[in-house]
Amino acid sequence: MIFKTIISGVIKEAIAKKIFIGFFILSTLIILGFLAFVGFDSVEGIATMAGDDIKQLVIGFEGFMLGVSYLLLITFCLIGVSSIIPSMLEKGNVDLLLSKPVSRGQIILGKFTGGLLLIFLSLVYLIGAVWLIVSIKFGYWNPTFLMSIIMLTFSFAVIYSLVIFIGITTQSSVLSIIINIFLIFLICPLLANRETVLFQFITNNVVQFIINFFYYVLPKPSDLQTITVKIISGEKIDSWQPVVTSALFLITFLSASIYIFKKKDY
């Protein structure tokens, strides 16, 4: 009951701070843009296509949409949830929360779950709408596309665990936005393509080892996205390693956040 209150508190906070409405508007814009884009395509062309070609086209569209929304989405979600922990930790607020009959671990888990629920619901709207549009338009229903809701939520959960960790340790939302954007848009893509990019310049074994180490330790949003695209197009996944190591990252940072939160005086 109390746990549920914490979760619904996150959602209410998001509504009050216009995060939900912002997300709704952003998603609607993406959907409308997509609708316009799909509408321009000549219908005759499609009509003459064979079944398999349509399937390819649909998957192509879906993959493209995923790529576009992913960057916008992750950035927006990041900004949306970055203040959840810092605002909870404000003096005069955290004291009262901690005086309630709920453990500190449950508080963090509640905030985590609430944030994920927020992202999940928003993704259901965006991905669901894109899926409906594509499917109705081309008459090919690809339900595995909906798997991307789960994958994106997971991908975000990994980032969110770091947001929570930075929130607990520094109480700064700006810092978590900066660090995460830096990671998601620069470090992680570089690490994911370390063999084709970085190792062209870096030949030293020790440095390569260190870079590999960071690749395995840090979250892998780029790899997760690649896996998601493979899932929706029904391709074989070569390695689940990015999912496993990202999950380990998530568990580590969430546990560390709980541990630190449990130890601290407020």
Partner 1 sequence: MEVISTKNLKKEYKGSGFSKERITALKNFSFTVNEGDIFGLLGPNGAGKTTLVKILLGIVYPTEGDASIFGESIKNEKYKTKIGYLPENHKFPNYLTGEQVLHYFGMLSGLSNAQVKSRSDEYLKIVDMEKWKKTKIKKYSKGMMQRLGIAQAMINEPDLIFLDEPTDGVDPIGRKEIRDILIGLKDKGKTIFLNSHLLSEIELICNKVAILNKGELIKEGTIDEITSTGNKHVFTTSDLSDDVINILLNQYFATLHGKNEFIVNSDSAESLNTVIDILRKNNVNILSLTKEKNTLENMFINLIEQQN
Q: Which residues bind partner 1 (CB under 8 A)?
A: 1-2, 5-6, 9, 12-13, 16-17, 87, 90-103, 263, 265-266
25-58 burial: b if 16+ Cβ within 10 Å, else e: ebbeebbeebeeebeeeeeeeeeeeeeeeebebb
Question: Would you say how long the chain is, in residues?
Answer: 266
> CB of 118: closest distance to partner 1 in angstroms?
16
> CB of 167: closest distance to partner 1 in angstroms?
16
| Cβ proximity to partner 1, 12 vs 182, nearer residue | 12
| Cβ proximity to partner 1, 93 vs 204, nearer residue | 93
Q: Is 180 exposed, middle or buried (0-12, 13-18, 19+ CB in 10 A)?
A: buried
Closest CA to 123 of 218, 253, 245, 228: 228
> CB of 84: closest distance to partner 1 in angstroms?
11
> CB of 5: closest distance to partner 1 in angstroms?
4
> CB of 182: closest distance to partner 1 in angstroms?
27
Residue 173 structure tokens: 């939302």
| Cβ proximity to partner 1, 7 vs 58, nearer residue | 7
User: Count of alpha carbons within 13 Å of 95, Cβ hemisphere only?
Assistant: 3
| Cβ proximity to partner 1, 17 vs 194, nearer residue | 17
| Cβ proximity to partner 1, 238 vs 265, nearer residue | 265
> CB of 176: closest distance to partner 1 in angstroms?
20
Q: What Cα–Cα distance (Å) separates residue 197 from each residue in 82, 182, 227, 246?
A: 31, 18, 20, 22
User: What type of residue sits at position 221?
Assistant: P
| DSSP string for residues in 154-219 | HHHHHHHHHHHHHHHHH--HHHHHHHHHHIIIIIHHHHHTTTTTHHHH---HHHHHHHHHHHHHS-
| Cβ proximity to partner 1, 41 vs 90, nearer residue | 90
> CB of 83: closest distance to partner 1 in angstroms?
12
Q: What Cα–Cα distance (Å) separates residue 131 from each residue in 35, 126, 139, 220?
A: 11, 9, 11, 25
Residue corresponding to tokens 């596309």: 145
| Cβ proximity to partner 1, 94 vs 183, nearer residue | 94
